[in-house]
Amino acid sequence: MKDRIHSYIESLIKERDLLFQEMESYASLHNVPIMELSGIEVLLQLLRMQEPKRILEIGTAIGYSAMRMAQALPETEIVTIERDDERYDLAIQNITKSEYASQINILKGDALDIYQEVKDFGPYDAIFIDAAKGQYMKFFELYTPLLSTNGYVYTDNVLFKGLVTEETIESKRIRNLVGKIKKYNEWLMNHDHYLTTIVPVGDGLAISKKMSE
Ligand SMILES: C[S@@+](CC[C@H](N)C(=O)[O-])C[C@H]1O[C@@H](n2cnc3c(N)ncnc32)[C@H](O)[C@@H]1O
């Protein structure tokens, strides 16, 4: 979804610390889908405004977004889940050698299988969904009961490189995935207990506010 406006905004973003720059280079070299720069900057700013005590992140990859959230919010605890062995190991390495180790707990496993473990660390004031795109609705339904009153859910990739607007998509796999994302977006926008807005930054960020009961 990178256009000239996104590139312009990214050109204005201050250089990150060396550790983050190295992680960005690693991700680009090894095709690790970390959050796009303009997207994460918006997410971090929203989190600074929200000041959550505890964040649940679904989809750690190599620990980039978890560490950036930890840096932006020094008082916040982050629980993050990764199912891929290699990425989990890299995340552990990156986080352990950083100054954010005491703020971040990485849980290994499929987010759909380790609810009890995740629950033991909760409740959460913010949930950040950034894992398998086809399962967003399941992640949302499973983990939002752990969200505190007035909490927020942030979902990345909801515009999936702009593909949600394409009429014809040749690849069946991508077509199915886009179908699931569109279904999630429509479901989320019409949710009775959440107020959602979609912001076209990065790969598309949905911001959902839990309404008071
Ligand atoms: C987009 S990447 C996460 C990027 C990371 N949030 C960042 O911006 O630095 C998605 C990650 O979620 C992991 N993942 C996908 N489905 C998962 C699941 N069901 N449970 C746990 N991890 C999952 C993938 O292995 C992948 O590393």
Every domain of the chain and the residues it spans: 2-53+113-210
**Res. 34 pLDDT band, cuts 50 70 90:** very high
Q: Is the pLDDT of residue 53 over 60?
A: yes
How much is the CA Rg of the chain, to the nearest whole Å?
A: 16
| Spacing, Cα 113 to ligand 1 middle (Å) | 14
On average, the pLDDT of the chain sits at: 96
pTM of the predicted structure, to 2 decimals: 0.96
SS3 118: helix
Q: Measured between alpha carbons, how far is 187 from 181 in angstroms, rounded to an integer?
A: 10
Could you read off the pLDDT of 115-132 as tens digits, one per residue?
999 999 999 999 999 999
| Spacing, Cα 82 to ligand 1 middle (Å) | 6
Could you read off the pLDDT of 164-175 as tens digits, one per residue?
999 898 999 999
Residue the block writes with tokens 């552990």: 92
Could you read off the pLDDT of 80-113 as tens digits, one per residue?
999 999 999 999 999 999 999 999 999 999 999 9
Topology of domain 2-53+113-210 in CATH is: Rossmann fold (3.40.50)
Residue the block writes with tokens 């977004």: 65
Q: Measured between alpha carbons, how far is 60 from 48 in angstroms, rounded to an integer?
A: 20
Residue from 41, 83, 138, 203 to probe ligand 1 pocket by mutation (most atoms less than 8 Å from CB): 83
**In this structure, what DSSP letter does residue 11 have?**
H
Q: Pairing state of beta strands 147-156 and 205-210?
A: antiparallel
Task: Please measure the distance between the N-terminal and C-terminal CA atoms of the chain and give it in whole angstroms.
Answer: 36
| Spacing, Cα 213 to ligand 1 middle (Å) | 31
Q: Pairing state of beta strands 147-156 and 124-129?
A: parallel
- Which residues are near ligand 1 (CB < 6 Å)? 33-35, 59, 61, 64-65, 81-84, 87, 110-112, 130-132, 135
- Per-residue pLDDT averaged across 148-173, rounded? 94
Q: Whose CA is nearest to atom 1 of ligand 1?
A: 33
- Number of helices (H) and strands (E), helices first, in the chain? 8, 7
Q: Which tokens sit at 3? A: 């256009």
